[in-house]
Amino acid sequence: MIKGIKKFLDRNIFGLFKRKKQIKLGLYGPPNSGKTSLANRICQDWLGEEMGTVSKIPHETRNIVTKEKVVVKSKGKEIMFNLVDTPGIATKIDYEDFLKFKMSDKEARSRAKEATKGVIESIKWLDNMDCVLVVLDSTVNPYSQVNITIIGNLAARDIPVMIVANKSDLKKSDIKQIESAFPQYPVIGISAEKGHGIEEFYNKLYKLVK
């Protein structure tokens, strides 16, 4: 309750005096949707450096990774972000899934353990975000409970959301399906890896946070 009042005052009253401060922008989504690829794309575009490692093995990002003072320019205006890349949120983690990627039993168990902690950390960090990009793999059915839970939690916290339909360059990509699954949110189709749609992405991001 007190936390809620503080948040309300922060956003609406004190927020007026703190405009132009750095905006904490979180990247959320299920594992392997391309959150770190997008974080890398943003950091490459505006800082000339990468933010994290990308892998085909799920749960590559197992800790919160932040990059401060990322200045994004769109149509002559600039916004400063603190970018927060989060571990993918999942409801199940089976160490045996990692064995398929030729990991040793010990490595797989350790990765699974770290991944569970990462999921918990991601959810806890929701309270710290000013704005969130929900990154979804546009080749995968969007009606998963994880996606619905993430977006529901953001709505319950009154955090502005944009859905990034990633991997738009792939044949199976279906951005329309994501739009119809979450009609109340802005959706932008991009390929973080190839850079498709990235200009439009920055324009929409600017509109979201202004």
The residues binding another protein (CB under 8 A) are: 89-95, 112, 116-117, 119-120, 123-124, 126, 141, 143-146, 148-149, 152-153, 155-156
Provide, rounded to whole angstroms, the least separation between the CB of residue 168 and another protein.
22
Nearer to another protein among residue 30 and residue 197 (C-beta): 30
Strands, E assignment, 138-210:
161-166, 187-189
Nearest CB to another protein, comparing residues 118 and 197? 118
What order do you get walking across the sheet with 23-28 strand by strand?
65-74, 77-85, 23-28, 131-137, 161-166, 187-189
Q: Is the CB of 74 or the CB of 139 nearer to another protein? A: 139
* Residue 21 vs 124, nearer CB to another protein: 124
CB of 70 to another protein, least distance (A): 27
Residue 69 CB, nearest approach to another protein (Å): 29
* Cβ neighbours around 153 below 10 Å, total: 16
Q: Which of 153, 201, 160 is nearest to 34 (CA)?
A: 201
37, 170 contact by CB (below 8 A)? no
Give least dist CB 7 to another protein, A.
14
CA quadruple 118, 119, 124, 130: dihedral positive or negative? positive
